[in-house]
Amino acid sequence: MYEVLVIGGGSAGYVAGSVLARKGIKTAVVEKGKFGGTCVNSGCVPSIFLFDSSFMLSRWKEIGDYKGMNVDVEMNDCTFSKRDEIVSYLSSAGKSLVENAGAQVYLGEARIKSRGMAEVNGKTIEFKRLIVASGSSPISYPGVITEDEAVNLRYVPRDMVVVGGGYAGVEIAQIFARLGSSVTLVTRHRILNGFSERARDYVIQSLDFDGVEVKEFHEVRKMENNEVVTDKGILKGEVVVSAIGRKPTLPEGLTMNYNVRVNDKGIVVKKNMMTDDHDVFAIGDVVDKPNKTAHSAMYEAIVASQTITGAQMEVRYECIPKVIYSDPQVGIVGSPDNAVKVVEFPFNAVTRATISGLREGMVRLGLDEKNEVVYGEVIGKNAEELINTLTLAVKYRANAFDLATTVFVHPSLSEAISNASKSIFDLDVDRFK
């Protein structure tokens, strides 16, 4: 009998399985597909690989225009094969981490037959406690490819209609526009709903520059094959992509055998990732939560594992950052609603940005009455890295004066964080640049 059964080998599941096994807990991890989950196989990894590739293509063309040369660069099968190679390597690495930690791996679909008993490929597995990390699946329509399938295409479509203005839709639209597709992005609201007006303006401007036709406030009435019917007309493309969201994937028999609450967004959990049933934890995309990212899932796995071993930990979602891998990138952490004032510092006033030609964007800090950082936002290149500094600031409620008087490397993009803080106390001297 296993102390813990983990259903799912994605970002949440393989971390939970590894941590528990290393702590001496007899653990089994069941995965019905490929280890690594959405992030590795059909999300962050292939998407960012394609984004980096498309960025390099666009930069080469820009250099050609600047130098007066005709640079003809395009994607080929070798590029897609490299993407697949990276995905395969990281998926295998996730499985190896679990096995090397000492957990037992079962490949197949887990069906919960009764309390403390599951079945995988006809084999019965007995366990005491359960961690559900079964992830989510994209909402799909007949003849329309999903966001997961889009980032695994092995060709560049002539034209593409992307439905959905969230981070997935924006990233896919920009990637394929830069690879050479004629792209239309349609959404029922504004794109990147929930992000700041500043961020949206920068991203929309960039999408427009890349040739993406953005259609906001279009109510989609039907998606089928190569056609999207909206309240304002019909859109057609060689490929139509549904990027309107995801739905939780629940193990068969879970709610029949355990007292677990579920809504349309996922399993309801406490701050320590325990469900209403003290023997069941849920982590990752299968959970009803505000931050469905791989790094959030990994941290939830640590919290659940620690709770099982007797420690007291909780997830604070306001301290977990989000990043959109668009160009410019957008990173946010904390809540702007808790800020009484917002200060910002543009990258065009940062020496390192001027040197590298990365002058687009800014750093924004939201402060409370005590000048403590409660919100951070980075718009621009390397936001994925810079937002981590602001995450620390939000987590520990750093005072802006502490940031202002901390010495940052010069020249570096991160100086924008220090300078934003310095501007509050009239200590910044770089705005003239």
Per-residue tokens: 385: 């890295």
pLDDT, one tens digit per residue, over 372-386 is: 999 999 999 999 999
Tell me, what's the pLDDT at 344?
95
Percent of the chain with pLDDT over 70: 95
Q: In this structure, what are the phi and psi dihedrals at residue 61, rounded to the nearest 5 degrees?
A: -65, -40
Per-residue tokens: 212: 């993406």
Percent of the chain with pLDDT over 90: 89
pLDDT, one tens digit per residue, over 224-248 is: 989 999 999 999 999 999 999 999 9
Class of domain 2-43+79-137+246-318: alpha beta
pLDDT, one tens digit per residue, over 40-96 is: 999 999 999 999 988 887 766 665 554 555 555 566 778 899 999 999 999 999 999
Sequence spans of domains, the chain: 2-43+79-137+246-318, 145-242, 328-425
Topology of the domain covering 328-425: Enolase-like; domain 1 (3.30.390)
**pLDDT beyond 60 at 115:** yes
**CATH superfamily of the 145-242 domain:** FAD/NAD(P)-binding domain (3.50.50.60)
Tell me, what's the pLDDT at 62?
62
Same fold, 2-43+79-137+246-318 and 145-242: yes
Q: The whole model's pTM is what?
A: 0.94
SS3 track for the chain: CEEEEEECCEHHHHHHHHHHHHCCCCEEEEECCCCEHHHHHHCHHHHHHHHHHHHHHHHHHHHHHHHCCCCCCCCCHHHHHHHHHHHHHHHHHHHHHHHHHCCEEEECCEEEEECCEEEECCEEEEEEEEEECCCEEECCECCEEEHHHHCCCCCCCCEEEEECCCHHHHHHHHHHHHHCCEEEEECCCCCCCCCCHHHHHHHHHHHHHCCCEEECCCCEEEEECCEEEECCEEEECCEEEECCCEEECCCECHHHHCCCCEECCEECCCCCCECCCCCEEECHHHECCCCCCHHHHHHHHHHHHHHHCCCCCCCCHHHCCEEECCCCCEEEEECHHHCCEEEEEEHHHCHHHHHHCCCCCEEEEEECCCCEEEEEEEECCCHHHHHHHHHHHHHCCCEHHHHHCCCCCCCCCCHHHHHHHHHHHCCCCCCCC
Tell me, what's the pLDDT at 57?
77
| Gap between the Cα atoms of 253 and 118, Å rounded | 9
* Amino acid identity, position 308: I
Tell me, what's the pLDDT at 225?
87
Q: Which range (72-76, 201-205, 279-283) has the least confidence?
A: 72-76
Burial of 107: CB neighbours in 10 Å, binned 0-12, 13-18, 19+:
middle
**pLDDT beyond 80 at 428:** no
Section 1-6 average pLDDT:
98
Tell me, what's the pLDDT at 433?
44
Tell me, what's the pLDDT at 137?
96
pLDDT, one tens digit per residue, over 290-330 is: 999 999 999 999 999 999 999 999 999 999 999 999 999 99
